[in-house]
Structure formats: C-alpha cells, structure tokens
Structure 1
Amino acid sequence: MAQVSDNTLHPLDEGTIRQRVVAQLKAHIVKGNFVPGQRLTEQQLASALNVSRGPLREAVRDLCDMGLLVSLPYKGLYVRSVTPEDLEELYSLRTTLETFAFERCWDKRTPEAIADLHSRSEALKEAIDLNVDGLRAIELELALHSWSFELSGHKLLQKSWESMQSNVYFYFSLHQRAHARKGPLRQSHDLYVELACGDSLDAMKAHLDDHMRQGFERTRDALSTSLFS
C-alpha cells in the first residue's frame, strides 16, 4: 500500500479547513505526487494534514465530484486512473461541444465579448510567465475555453460543459505532467483567440479540431509508458 509522507503534506491550522484540504490534495494530484490509481486512506490523510475526519471527508467528496479522486464501495479511495480510451472520449466529446458552442456564439461576439476573450488570454499568459502555479494555469485555461459556452446562451450546452469540466481539469493536469511544465505553451492559444475574433467560422472550427487533436495525441503519447503500461 502506498504511504502518504508527512514531508510532502503539511498540517493545516483552523479556518476554512475543507477548502484548504481540497486545495492541498488537488495540488499534489496535479503535480503527480499522488499517481493515478494510487490508493489513499482517510487515516493517512488525516494524520498527514492534522485534520479531523469530518472536514477531510467533505473535502474528499469535493475531489470525487471534480473527478480527481474515486471512491469505490468496499474497496477504498483512489486517485483517478486514466486509459487511452478515456482520453479519446474526452477529446471527441469536448471537440464536438466546443465546435457547437462557437456555432451558437458566432453572431453574439460584441466588442465587449471580444475584449473579455483577450482579457482571459492575457491572464493565462501572465500565469504561464510566472511558471509557479499549475493549478491557477489550469483554472485560467478552463476560463478561456469557457468563453464560447458562456457567450452561446445555450443553457443545456453550458450545463454539459460544466458537467465535463472536472474531466477536462484532470486532462489538463495530465498534460502539464506529460510536458513537465505549469501550463500550456505561452503561444499555444494565440491562433485560437485570433480566429475566435475573426471572420471565418469555418477556419475557427478547423482550428478547434486540429488544436484538440494535437493536444490529445501529445498527451496520449507522452503518458503511454507511465500511465497505460
């Protein structure tokens, strides 16, 4: 059984314990300190974090809802595993949904909406330049890709995107680890933003398919030996 080291998880003070437990465990999963498929126990985590079982269990439920942990009845708590099929399903569904989002939002791109997209892009670049907070980079990359869904005004589409964001979050964390960096390449969304603000919906949709496929293939190939063997 894998052990949780007191040297890598730090005791927490009183306060918003649940949120702080979520933040610390999330960071360790994203950084790869906990590996996919690793079994965790409440006793190990509570001892390492110096917290009671109540807020720990609430935090664990939050992380299960995010898709980062999996609780299996009669078996225990595990860091989520991933298969090539998982990645392919996420890639294909995400591509389909985001393409539809751009079809629905295309005629709703006001100057204010365009300015909002550029603001999200700049915030992501600032986080990438700092190169210190992979969690923040993931949140900002999700915010960038959420733009078309929010602008679409399509409520069911937005709910579908929200329901799969935990899976996308996990995918982004794998992508960071596969490429040993805290976020995407700085220029990786430049063409995405340029085309999103441009005149050709067809060009945007073609880029979406290429952008998503390349990310999927690179992550799959980079993780093939470490996660899928």
Structure 2
Amino acid sequence: MALSDLSTPELGLGPVPKATLRAHIAERLRAAILAGDIAPGAPLTETALSSRFNVSRGPLREAMRQLIEEGLLVTVPYTGTHVAALSVEDVREIYSLRTALEIFAFEQVWEHRDDRFSRELHRRNAALLASIDAGDDRTSISTELELHGLVFEASGHKLLQRAWHGLRGRLQLYWAAHHRAHGMRGPRRDSHDSYIKAALGSDLDALRLEIADHMRRGAVVTEKFVSGESRKGNTT
C-alpha cells in the first residue's frame, strides 16, 4: 500500500482531530493540578505551559478554556489565569449551593426514578468503593462526583446541569489537596450508605435531611483544611 493511501477514512489514520489534542492537553493539565504539581493560586501563562507540555498555544488555549469552565482555573482581568484557590467563605458558598441544587435535582426526578436509576446509582457506588479499595485517590474523587452527578443527569434540566458542572472542578481541586495533606485515599467506604438508601427510598423529606447532613459533613472537613492552609500561608 502506498504511503498516500494510509490516510484513507477506512483505516482511521487521518489527521488527529484538533479536539482530541485539546482533550489530551486538558487531561495532562488537569492531572498536574489535581496531583498538586501546580498549586492552588499559582499563575499560569500560555508560553510556560506550551513549553512544559511541548504543545502549540492554540490547542493549549482551548484546553485552558475548558478547565476554566470546569472551575479548575480562573481568569482575572489585568491579572491573568491561575489555578483556582478557595477561601473559607468560598467553601461555605459552594456547599450551600450544592445542597440546594442536589435537593432540587431530586425533587425533579423523584416521581420518575425507576430500576435503571437504581441500578446506575448502585453501579456508580460500586465504582467508588473499588477506587477506595485500590487506594486510587484521584479516581475516588471523580467517581464520587459521578455518583452525585447521576441525579443531575437524570433531571434533564440543562441549567441545573451547568450549575453542577461549574462546581465540580473546585470540589475536585480541594478534595485532592485535602486528601494529600492528610494521607487519605478517598472517603470512608460507608460514607454514602445512608445517602443511597434515602435516594432510593420513599420519603422525600428524609432525603432532603440526609442531603443537608451529608453536605454539612463535607463542608466542615473542607473548611478545616482551607482554614489550615490559610493560616500556614499567613505565617510563611
């Protein structure tokens, strides 16, 4: 076969789609942020990153835009782009909004839950447990978010889904930092047992209380971590 024939669609050896390159860059940058290689609050420049990842600035710019949408990066006018950093007040706002959004999402799907919803919730919890048992912290963070994300997906409410998507990135960032600081490898294995029971039960008021309590526990843990980081920053 001639070299010119290698790019035929049937072989799948044509040019790599630009979107694929952007996704690879986004994944590498996301991994570096969640691993702590790039610290919260650190400034990012296209020139430095394109050199570090050995990529052109075009797809890098698109990848950074994607991470801005995910909440891992923020852009401040006249200051530039940097890794998201949260204050205690930010944590309180995020968790209070999470509580309201997740309760609202369940209110939208409550009468429409079926066997598929139940099976998928159990499947996602099993994936979370497997990542915890494997000591895979990064995967445990993403699978925990997938578990909570099911009700948003099932709601079919696009604005609600966008709001949830905007919170996910910052939750990933601070869960990863908190776990590293305390040598954790994900949440406790039983941390979602009561949540799943309530989510599949028949008492919507009980679910509302469970979500509020579940989120409160998460907020307390994250607040303590962020407060500790702030104090350390003030003494250096």
Short-chain TM bin: 0.7 to 0.9
Among 128, 132, 151, which residue is 2:132 paired with?
128
Letter in structure 1 aligned against 2:22: R
Aligned 8 A contact 1:82 1:227 in 2: no
Letter in structure 1 aligned against 2:29: L
Percent of aligned pairs sharing the same letter: 41
Letter in structure 1 aligned against 2:152: F
Q: 2:106 & 2:45 partners in 1: Cα distance?
A: 43
Aligned 8 A contact 1:108 1:152 in 2: no
How does the TM-score come out when normalised to structure 1?
0.83
Q: Structure 1 regions of 5+ residues with no counterpart?
A: 1-13
The reply on whether 1:110 has 2:114 as its aligned counterpart is yes
How does the TM-score come out when normalised to structure 2?
0.81
Q: Which residue of structure 1 lines up, in the alignment, with residue 11 of structure 2?
A: none
Q: Which residue of structure 1 lines up, in the alignment, with residue 214 of structure 2?
A: 211
Among 45, 64, 68, which residue is 1:64 paired with?
68
The reply on whether 1:146 has 2:183 as its aligned counterpart is no
Aligned 8 A contact 1:68 1:166 in 2: no
Letter in structure 1 aligned against 2:93: E
Q: 2:26 & 2:109 partners in 1: Cα distance?
A: 34
Q: 1:45 & 1:139 partners in 2: Cα distance?
A: 24
Among 188, 209, 231, which residue is 1:185 paired with?
188
Letter in structure 1 aligned against 2:168: V
Task: Tell me: CA distance 1:189–1:169, structure 2 relative to 1, closer, same or farther (3 Å).
Answer: farther
1:133 deviates by: 5.4
Q: Which residue of structure 1 lines up, in the alignment, with residue 97 of structure 2?
A: 93
Q: What per-residue deviation string (whole Å, max 9, x for no partner) do you get for residues 181-204 of structure 1?
A: 343222211111112112322221
Q: What per-residue deviation string (whole Å, max 9, x for no partner) do you get for residues 13-37 of structure 1?
A: x953321111111111112221221
Aligned 8 A contact 1:97 1:161 in 2: no
Q: 2:72 & 2:80 partners in 1: Cα distance?
A: 14
Q: Which residue of structure 2 lines up, in the alignment, with residue 159 of structure 1?
A: 159
Aligned 8 A contact 2:33 2:83 in 1: yes
Aligned 8 A contact 1:128 1:186 in 2: yes
The reply on whether 1:173 has 2:173 as its aligned counterpart is yes
Task: Tell me: CA distance 1:173–1:76, structure 2 relative to 1, closer, same or farther (3 Å).
Answer: closer
Q: Which residue of structure 1 lines up, in the alignment, with residue 86 of structure 2?
A: 82
Give the match's secondary structure for 1:35: coil
Among 194, 198, 201, which residue is 1:195 paired with?
198
Aligned 8 A contact 1:176 1:182 in 2: no
Q: 1:176 & 1:49 partners in 2: Cα distance?
A: 22
Report the RMSD for the aligned CA atoms in angstroms.
Answer: 2.1
1:103 deviates by: 2.4
Q: Which residue of structure 1 lines up, in the alignment, with residue 123 of structure 2?
A: 119
Task: Tell me: CA distance 1:53–1:125, structure 2 relative to 1, closer, same or farther (3 Å).
Answer: same
Q: Which residue of structure 2 lines up, in the alignment, with residue 31 of structure 1?
A: 35
Q: Which residue of structure 2 lines up, in the alignment, with residue 22 of structure 1?
A: 26
Among 39, 43, 46, which residue is 1:42 paired with?
46
1:131 deviates by: 2.4
Greater radius of gyration (CA): 2
Aligned 8 A contact 1:29 1:79 in 2: yes
Give the match's secondary structure for 1:77: strand
The reply on whether 1:226 has 2:214 as its aligned counterpart is no
